[in-house]
Structure 1
């Protein structure tokens, strides 16, 4: 960093345990990259590896650097494809928000390398802490439980607001689930300013509690770096991105719609449908009356035979399907016996006391069974299953209780380990991160430049976004399942019902409460030391 007591140019940090572990993985052969990845690599080299000759030199005129990206830059994580996307995002941020003003002040050649070293240290430390978190418990129990409590409070607040002389939705929700960062209730200019100040203070305190655990020890005494990193993290990321744009209802509905369209399988190609030629001839009047009568008599005589044949084929299909499912289930159970046991609760970093571990986790020493996670209750509340089909909810609850109490689906049983293995293999695998990061970079920085700020939609456009989200949800559900669930075949009624559920996320203030609670939970799980100061 360029400042009065600036270290010499040859300053290098001592290799930490994280750096040694990361360097041990740097010898891995890089995976094959596409043309888009090669263009991204060139962009990263031009921004993060090239040194401008003059303060006015643009990064587009900087000479291209030769060599592999893995040799020029330190490893950020243990996967090269994740490093590529993270470095691309870092390069865009530095070129758009830092180099535009920093190069006008000083031609500091070590500034970019210092920033890269700091980011690499933080990401490796973050990855090591992420390995200590019980992801099953976090994503399947704690976060869904938080969402379930939010939906319950939002539903009570919405119902209470319709009562004569009742309070507003935000006031009722704040009474049920108050938070220091979002008080007082923003109703006038004075309360809006006070709430905004509390929000700024909370964001700053959150960042100040995290930075000492991520930054290298020699950078903690740098006040300039502390101010820049803290302001960027608390201002741009937490307040503007998470508590600002991410809490808008139209953005949540639009994101849900895009996710459904991205995951929805493409419809099969329409084959040439062979319709009944005789029926077309009859409608066109090209078939004589005698031939028509003879055809109708033959159709009536063969109706019973066709019904029997159809019933036989249907029975055979159900038998084959049942046998296939039973065979797959038995094979999975046989393979589940060789799966490792689930972790006995979340791991704690070295040096943490037993009191802190118990206070931070608040969990049992034995992990909760997969079938007993609060994810299923959250799904039931989102789908209003208890209201629509109370008999099915009761049967499922009874089956859940019996399967856990008898040990069939208990903790570390064969079914429990099989479910955990499939969830980790399909949902919690690191291979899903690179496309997600690439999609985020393409959406926020199209063409590796900052995209134009999107204007908030009008009221009519917001309603249309919600309708499109409801339409996408209805379309993704199979016809038989949605007809049975909604007890109607009218898609308009189905969409109106889904829209009433989406109204639970129609208040930005309520969504901000959910984001703040989820952010605090993630911080406490990743950095258990922060809970010690909160006690």
Structure 2
């Protein structure tokens, strides 16, 4: 293999590994953090931040070793310990990093859902090895289809369009549910706006028969979705094996889609906790110095002898009093410098794209080659992606600031359809934006991190904890997985019936309690508030002390008793039903807010009531999650949108009635 093939991520198919996978490749060989020399602490300048960074790298390395140990113990327990994983396991993709995370996820699934009954029959590994070969065949086929799909348009256009539809429908359903004298259920209106066959009829606690019927329809829908996918991806001999087909179908349909996706991911607390984690990850700064030291490069002499100031000392120096004029001048210079860097980056990128032949930079040919299996969708310019309209709808810009929404829409129209059509599809500007997204947003290292985050979120108990690691540092148990301190979670969890356990009771769910849900909601709101600059947050939510009721803005004030008084929009989606006593929320979340933090309390309450309230209902969240899964599967397996599941199975020689 050449040096280019050692880069992490998905490589060209011509560089697909012929042998097995994982950690021996240069792309996945993480530098041993023990070689990183931590700078000695001197009496004058302690290196606290440097020490913590090195310790985090050590814990990351230990965690990778623990993950490898988990894979060996579950997937190849009888193999020689001196053999590497690449000699024992078949390759799943062309990326070692992706394979490592996928095998860790597969190991947890096999341990939880296969070994729980298979080890009672026999101790051999023949069945598990055969299952791994089938999974490897499917993942390689999916990777080949993924290369022929415009991932940027899927992630930034089609999925945001579904999220935008969910936001609009949920707010409209809450508004319409309170208009008439006889209030209508929010779920009923939402389901009428976004009907889904697998979620009918609407479950009503007053009619247990409707709940059982909806569970049955949802289970049948998941089975059809999984068997249709397997009918395209599985080899013919494996598809004809009824035992293997049934087992694989039940694991994917009932245990993965049913128990984890429908039973956990659609829960409001899980989505809030996921948002908080994503915000915290986005705020983490890369430790370039530690990476250089881990690769064996000598440390800077100034840092080595503690002659450079630490972040704490720099923060202390910032309190030195300066005149307003000097502060204003430095701020202007900073803005000018940032603007210069941005303009230089844009100009350099535009010249680079324009100087190359269009045949080599055309995103249409790259996304949809002539031999593509996936059916092409309508090519949309990057500036016309639905991501921008989704963010606008999420923040309610047309209602809060109609002038801003109008200006942005006018600018977008002039660029896309104005003179010269500068932002049209496959133009110089469009190709520059597309390449920027590929290079800086959808990077090859993104998928391994997403797989790791998904494994940690879905199976937090099974995440390997490194020995000797500091608790809560390497693997931190989410707050939602702590044992409940009171009764069942607020709102109740809806269980999905499956073949393995058709009468699962709600008492078996170990979801968070009501105080823990309130703490998760508050933590998510605080994380979002820390991400947005405070001046923008003030203008966006229009929060002010003792402000009067205004029809065009959402205002929240605090009275003398410490209670939040909310006045929402007249259109009814401001979340006024969720405005509660702030002192009670502080007690539930364990946070204290003093009198000087009233503004922060107001902004946090606004984020909770206006943004996080969109994920309040589990039944409505299922519509969104299932629609995203359907869209991704249809883009990767377009046969699902062209033919029925019975026709796909009959083409492979399997009768639909036998499934």
Within 1, Cα distance between the matches of 2:519 and 2:312? 29
1:376 and 2:388 matched: yes
* Residue in structure 2 matching 1:269, options 272, 287, 312: 312
1:179 and 2:193 matched: no
Residue 223 of structure 1: aligned partner: 242
1:485 and 2:540 matched: yes
Within 1, Cα distance between the matches of 2:193 and 2:246? 36
Within 2, Cα distance between the matches of 1:200 and 1:471? 37
- Higher mean displacement: 524-533 or 478-487: 478-487
Within 2, Cα distance between the matches of 1:118 and 1:404? 46
Residue by residue over 1:274-293, the C-alpha shift from the partner in whole angstroms, topping out at 9 and shown as x without a partner, is 7679xxxxxxxxxxxxxxxx
Residue 213 of structure 2: aligned partner: 194
Unaligned runs of 5+ in 1: 1-17, 52-62, 278-302
- Higher mean displacement: 490-499 or 187-196: 490-499
Alignment of 1:231-250 (within 5 A): 231-250=250-269
Residue 530 of structure 1: aligned partner: 640
Within 2, Cα distance between the matches of 1:491 and 1:351? 52
| Superposition CA RMSD, Å | 3.1
Deviation at 1:125, TM superposition (A): 0.8
Please say if residues 46 and 64 of structure 1, whose CA atoms lie closer than 8 Å, have aligned partners that are also in contact.
no
Within 2, Cα distance between the matches of 1:108 and 1:312? 73
Residue 499 of structure 1: aligned partner: 608
Within 1, Cα distance between the matches of 2:370 and 2:634? 12
1:388 and 2:432 matched: no
Residue 361 of structure 2: aligned partner: 340
1:421 and 2:397 matched: no
Deviation at 1:534, TM superposition (A): 4.8
Partner SS, residue 430 of structure 1: coil
Residue 207 of structure 1: aligned partner: 226
TM-score by length of 1: 0.80
Residue 441 of structure 1: aligned partner: 455
Within 2, Cα distance between the matches of 1:512 and 1:385? 26
Deviation at 1:112, TM superposition (A): 2.2
Q: Count matched residues.
A: 471
- Higher mean displacement: 456-465 or 125-134: 456-465
Residue by residue over 1:284-332, the C-alpha shift from the partner in whole angstroms, topping out at 9 and shown as x without a partner, is xxxxxxxxxxxxxxxxxxx9xx676666666555544444433332222
Please say if residues 529 and 603 of structure 2, whose CA atoms lie closer than 8 Å, have aligned partners that are also in contact.
yes
TM-score by length of 2: 0.66
Within 2, Cα distance between the matches of 1:170 and 1:500? 18
Residue 343 of structure 2: aligned partner: 326
Partner SS, residue 424 of structure 2: coil
Deviation at 1:397, TM superposition (A): 0.4
Alignment of 1:118-157 (within 5 A): 118-157=134-173
Within 2, Cα distance between the matches of 1:462 and 1:39? 31
Partner SS, residue 272 of structure 1: helix
Larger C-alpha radius of gyration, 1 or 2? 1
Residue 185 of structure 2: aligned partner: 168
Residue by residue over 1:374-404, the C-alpha shift from the partner in whole angstroms, topping out at 9 and shown as x without a partner, is 1100000111111111111101100000001
Partner SS, residue 112 of structure 1: helix
Residue 286 of structure 1: aligned partner: none
Residue 555 of structure 2: aligned partner: none
Please say if residues 25 and 78 of structure 1, whose CA atoms lie closer than 8 Å, have aligned partners that are also in contact.
no
Deviation at 1:497, TM superposition (A): 1.9
Residue 280 of structure 1: aligned partner: none
Residue by residue over 1:424-451, the C-alpha shift from the partner in whole angstroms, topping out at 9 and shown as x without a partner, is 1222222122233233334415455799
1:410 and 2:437 matched: no
Please say if residues 45 and 64 of structure 1, whose CA atoms lie closer than 8 Å, have aligned partners that are also in contact.
no
Within 2, Cα distance between the matches of 1:233 and 1:524? 17
Within 2, Cα distance between the matches of 1:519 and 1:308? 55
